[in-house]
Amino acid sequence: MERDEQGYTHAITQFVAERTGLALERAARIVTLGEPWPHITAQYELFLQSSCDAEASGVPWEIALNANRALAEMGMASLAPEAIDRHIEQTAALTGESLETIETVHTALLLHLRSQLDELKQMFQRAADHSKESS
């Protein structure tokens, strides 16, 4: 699941462009100028912390990620709506795009994050199922 930052950013931008109907270049500009997006930052920090924990403890990355998942969910729940609204307003001002366009990009980013978390849940479920079958 390792991805270089540029490849990961491109995947996010492509997802946003497809979801919003914006041209790829326009979506890339908005995503780049809107960084750091709070939810994407939280996901990146979760992956980075899990990688460090796995290396330090000698456990597989997936186990460290699963251990950190509950903490990440608590952290995401604490993202205040006012802070998100302020971020959207600042990104609109910086990009010259409408609030509606930035809100659409933000929604697409949340959908991307949700799809990434769903992939992780499925991965953990498959690992648990495989472990039960092996026993």
Domain boundaries, the chain: 5-130
Percent share of the chain, pLDDT over 90: 32
Per-residue pLDDT at 41:
75
Burial (0-12, 13-18, 19+ Cβ within 10 Å), 30: buried
Q: Are 123 and 62 in contact (CB under 8 A)?
A: yes
Per-residue pLDDT at 1:
28
Q: Are 40 and 12 in contact (CB under 8 A)?
A: yes
Per-residue pLDDT at 6:
64
Give yes or no for residue 61 having a pLDDT over 70.
yes
Per-residue pLDDT at 97:
96
Nearest to 10 by CA among 112, 133, 127: 112
What Rg, from alpha-carbon coordinates, does the chain have? Answer: 17
Per-residue model confidence as pLDDT tens digits over 124-135 = 677 767 777 776
Per-residue model confidence as pLDDT tens digits over 2-55 = 344 566 678 889 999 999 999 999 999 999 999 888 777 777 778 788 888 888
Per-residue pLDDT at 133:
79
